[in-house]
Amino acid sequence: MSMEEDKKEEGKKTVEIVLPGASAIDKVLGPVLGEVGEDLKRLYAVGRDMIFVAAYKKIEDVEDGKQANLRVTRDVLWNGSFSDSELCAEYFGGILASSRSEDGKDDDSIQFVDVTKSLSTKQLGLHYAIYNRLNKLLVASDERVNVAMDTELRRRQVWFSAMELQVNLELRVGTDLNILFRHGLLSQYESKAHIVGSRALPYVSANPTMFGILLYAAAHNRYDEWLEFDQTDFGDFEGIKLPQLYFDSLQGLVDGVGLTAEETS
């Protein structure tokens, strides 16, 4: 039975998934496909195919002859296929692509499967927003940051409008910042209101961790480049909304939203 027939038979939510070429799965997995072939038929086809599409797009050269790690492949497909979230597919697809090596024995990405499966879609969205915007701020800065040095990394912050995160992006900052913290994806965070004149500016600030950067890099299939997080823009996931207000200081946020004491008093 073909993957398309399998998808129709399951009678699940209809989502159009177009794999980039008939042999896309074989190119992503390599010889591991023979090991998990039967398991693929038992998975939710929509979520499964979304993961393969995401992984395929993140691989620079699909003809490189590399193969995915069997252990990582099994956990990615089992934990990631039962979701039709585009963001989940991006994270699981990136982790799957990151497991590809010449001999297929590199299972370093397995730790990222564990944390990704433990987070809700909205929690992944918050992680993505924080590290995407932090990545861009650091790249735009002339100052280099040693992301391998925890004491230096923890001093970095990114500031957001809490209203934009909660209303425009529909993220739950009140609870999910703490969950990211408990998973080691943030070293510190704040969700408060800054008084400007007669008005309050609700804000969110977050300090990164090395593990948070490693997960972000793996989700982009750039795990080997994580040390370049402060120098290289890892890019954006297509179709995933991001906050437009983000700054490296509270004053930057205040200025960015255009609030002054004179205007609001």
Kindly report the pTM of this predicted structure.
0.84
Cα gap 134→158, rounded to integer Å: 6
Give the relative orientation of helices 3-10 and 45-58 as an angle to the nearest 10 degrees. Answer: 140
Cα gap 59→68, rounded to integer Å: 12
Per-residue pLDDT of the chain (265 residues; tens, 9 = 90+): 444 444 444 444 433 445 444 466 665 665 555 555 556 666 657 778 889 899 999 999 988 889 999 899 889 988 888 788 999 999 999 999 999 999 999 999 999 999 999 999 999 999 999 999 999 999 999 889 999 998 999 999 999 999 999 999 999 999 999 999 999 999 999 999 999 878 899 999 999 999 999 999 999 999 999 999 999 999 999 999 999 999 999 999 999 988 765 544 3
DSSP string, 132-169: HHHHHHHHHSSS---TT-HHHHTT--EEEEHHIIIIIS
**Which residues on neighbouring strands pair with residue 247, listed in sequence order?**
159
**Which residues on neighbouring strands pair with residue 193, listed in sequence order?**
202
Q: How far apart are the first and last CA of the chain?
A: 69
Q: What is the pLDDT of residue 2?
A: 45
